[in-house]
Amino acid sequence: MKKKITAPKIYSMKNKEKIAMITSYDCPTTKIVESAGIDIILVGDSVGMVLLGYPTTLEVTVDDIIHHSKAVSRCSQYALKVGDMPFMSYQTSVEEAVKNAGRIIQEGGMDAVKLEGGENHIDKIKAILNAGIPVMGHVGLTPQSVNLFGGFKIQGKTAESAKQILKDAILLDQAGVFAIVLEGIPEELAKVITESVSCPTIGIGAGRFCDGQVLVFHDMLSIPEPCYFKFVKQFENAGEVMKNGVENYVKAVKENEFPGKDNVTHISEEILKALKDKGGLKCI
Ligand SMILES: Nc1nc(=O)c2c([nH]1)NC[C@@H]1CN(c3ccc(C(=O)N[C@@H](CCC(=O)O)C(=O)O)cc3)CN21
Ligand SMILES: CC(C)C(=O)C(=O)O
Ligand SMILES: [Mg+2]
């Protein structure tokens, strides 16, 4: 079996080996991504949009993250498991932030937490690290600020915004995070950040020069249908494969082809005779 991956191991992978990270919110997905050799599993707050049908990630609660984290941690063998801190679980105070990070570790079975922000939340990040919990940073297009941005819009396109994102990443690195997700920023900015911090950067819609990449499992596999975000690539059309399978099932039921002779259990002639002798329903 593969050796367990720790936060310090991820930190040490910078400039050695690219880091592959993906979301998982349940047991079968965890087994699939681990059998494929993934380094980091993220129980992302994207679960709200991808699995639960919410329009943004803002509706997701700590209990939601813990519920899905439990499923993932029960079935995980070796990957580093990171739990996303949802909206309002760390923004309000240092105490709330440490308490909720602790719950995601203690109840959810995660190895580390991720939270969105830089300079604005550095006090919470330092306190969580002080509690002994590894932290992954997340800057750029931080989806929990969707209403502030006016939509899921690429960040860091002006000099002022790019400078702030670089500053945020440097402050996170200095605070001691083991990696930083760079989301939705121009690749030139991602390259400057990657060269300016000692921890690895993990990109999503941040170009080609990060130390690793992260994608939502369902997006890259086109479940339920192809995802047209520019930063997503279709690595397989699993949605189509799944749909075909269910179509085959529906057709087989309608046409009396399923269940077939291999899918059934029999009783002996003797027991069948006894059943009929008793007169069927009259025995009740
Ligand atoms: N299924 C899924 N995949 C994700 O990657 C994801 C979620 N959900 N939910 C939370 C956030 C939202 N995400 C997004 C969504 C859109 C863009 C994006 O690039 N949107 C447009 C706007 C660009 C602009 O105008 O600046 C684009 O052109 O692709 C980026 C990140 C990433 N996260
Ligand atoms: C897209 C990744 C980075 C994320 O935060 C999530 O899945 O919630
Ligand atoms: Mg998230």
Distance 83 CA to ligand 3 centre (A): 9
Tens of pLDDT, residue by residue over 48-83, are 999 999 999 999 999 999 999 999 999 999 999 999
**Are the CB atoms for 229 and 219 separated by under 8 Å?**
yes
Tens of pLDDT, residue by residue over 3-26, are 999 999 999 999 999 999 999 999
**Nearest CA, atom 8, ligand 2:** 44
In the Cβ-directed half-sphere of 227, how many Cα atoms lie within 13 Å? 21
Report the pLDDT value the prediction gives residue 41, as an integer from 0 to 100: 99
- Tell which residue, 99, 43, 16, has the closest CA to residue 214: 43
d(C-alpha 219, C-alpha 236), whole Å? 10
Tens of pLDDT, residue by residue over 170-180, are 999 999 999 99
Q: What is the pTM of this model?
A: 0.96
d(C-alpha 219, C-alpha 75), whole Å? 22
Predicted complex ipTM: 0.93
**184 alpha-carbon distance from chain centroid:** 17
Confidence tier at 35 by pLDDT (50, 70, 90) = very high
Distance 84 CA to ligand 3 centre (A): 6
Mean per-residue pLDDT over the chain, rounded: 97
Distance 242 CA to ligand 2 centre (A): 24
E-assigned strands of 93-142?
112-114, 135-140
**Over 80: is that where the pLDDT of 282 sits?**
no
Catalytic site residue from 34, 183, 195, 240: 183
**Nearest CA, atom 8, ligand 1:** 46
Nearest ligand 2 atom to alpha carbon 214: 3
Instruction: For residue 31, give the amino acid letter.
Output: K
Report the pLDDT value the prediction gives residue 68, as an integer from 0 to 100: 98
In degrees and rounded to multiples of 5, residue 201 shows phi and psi of: -105, 140
Tens of pLDDT, residue by residue over 185-214, are 999 999 999 999 999 999 999 999 999 999
C-beta of 49 in contact with ligand 1 (< 6 A): yes
C-beta of 182 in contact with ligand 2 (< 6 A): no
**Over 80: is that where the pLDDT of 283 sits?**
no
d(C-alpha 184, C-alpha 36), whole Å? 26
* Beta strand pairing call for 201-204 and 19-23: unpaired
Domain architecture of the chain: domains with CATH: 7-236 (3.20.20.60), 242-283 (no CATH)
**What residues does 213 pair with on adjacent strands?**
20, 203
DSSP 8-class letter at 42: E
